[in-house]
Amino acid sequence: MNEHLLVLNAGSSSLKLGLFTAEPEPMALATGHVERIGSAHAELHLKQAGGAVIADQGLGAQGKTHQEALQAALGPLLQAHPGARVRAVGHRIVHGGRSYAEPVVLNDQSLSYLAELVPFAPLHQPHNLAGVTAARAAFPEAQQVGCFDTAFHRHHPFVNDTFALPRRFYEKGVRRYGFHGLSYDYVAGRLAQMAPLLHQGRVVVAHLGNGASMCGLSAGRSVASTMGFSALDGLPMGTRSGQVDPGVLLYLMDQEGMAPAQISDLLYRESGLKGMSGIGSDMRALLGSDSPHAAEAIDYFCFRARRELGGLAAALEGLDALVFTGGIGENAAAIRERICRGMHWLGIELDERANAAGATVISTAFSRVRVLVIPTNEELVIARAAARLSR
């Protein structure tokens, strides 16, 4: 019987999963997701790595909890792979706090610590941990492995790890953690394979999607990130605000009478591209719209990315490469072009034809800074960690 790995990424109302081989190198066999968990309209979508559909159906009453959603997905998944034996389950967990700079085996002690971090990521951490609970019930003999979005950034220098607040808050954990670390880990590894000399240099990776951030890498290690204490900071996102003057939050409380829960909902769910455009969070829809508000939302998104690119280049003391990844970064040539436009002073010269064609290298031969597009694969990073820690 073959040994396999299961990868889970649990969100508030969704569960992404993937079945991988365990040895010698994890390889995806099937992927899928359950959406609208907790509603009467929960749906399951599963397909083989080659694209053949395993399941595409509504779950009805079977999708009320993450545990029920996982059980509903496992039936057809394991039926399609009857020889599978899950030896380890790898989990994406948004926050690892100060303690975890590497993936860890999840046990009662580590899970207790991660539960204490819920106030640091209230909209992500509880659902990540719900996925662990569901997997422990479904696979009691399997090793559970946690992989953290914050871990990749835990080696930042102090100046990129702190806020200018009294020191006691830093000691309590009020720090710049950074997120999207699993994506940056994968891209750094791919760059090391594709262009070892660039990997050893100064690189900015732009993970642009519904969640968006940028990271400065020196010799493959994170030096600075646009995201900070929470996944709200930095770039505007699909529904998240990005950087906001703290005085705005004081104004919303004092003058608008908004409660913390209302402000949280505003910043996480009603802002960003959705809030600015009044249309929605999908960049494809905004690019196809003739609304002036959609155009302004895109302008702001690209402006902030350009501004952060300059700041990260300063933190790195120069720039050798810019890498685009994530749903927008990988697929929206128009956004890549607008971010790179006018950046000749930094050494960026875009090849418009290569960019439009979606090539891997989209800078000209004369560009001092190489510009690349590298698709990310967070699930593979998790699968590798699960394989390594369950041997």
* CB-based contact 363:348 (threshold 8 Å): yes
Give catalytic residues, as residue numbers. Answer: 149
Tens-digit pLDDT string for the chain (391 aa): 579 999 999 987 888 999 999 988 999 999 999 988 888 888 999 999 999 999 999 988 778 888 898 999 999 999 999 988 999 999 999 999 999 999 999 999 999 999 999 999 888 899 999 999 999 999 999 999 999 999 999 999 999 999 999 999 999 999 999 999 999 999 999 999 999 999 999 999 999 999 999 999 999 999 999 999 999 999 999 999 999 999 999 999 999 999 999 999 999 999 999 999 999 999 999 999 999 999 999 999 999 999 999 999 999 999 999 999 999 999 999 999 999 999 999 999 999 999 999 999 999 999 999 999 999 999 999 999 999 999 8
Start-end ranges of CATH 3.30.420.40 in the chain?
2-148, 196-378
- The closest of 266, 265, 274, 202 to 237, measured between CA atoms, is 274
pLDDT for res 298: 98
Phi, psi (degrees; rounded to nearest 5) at 83: -90, 5
Domain covering 2-148: architecture = 2-Layer Sandwich (3.30)
Half-sphere exposure of residue 260: CA atoms within 13 angstroms, side-chain side: 2
Please give the CATH topology (third level) of the domain spanning 196-378. Answer: Nucleotidyltransferase; domain 5 (3.30.420)
383 φ/ψ angles, rounded to the nearest 5 degrees: -60, -40
- What letter represents residue 122's amino acid? P
Q: What's the chain's length in residues? A: 391
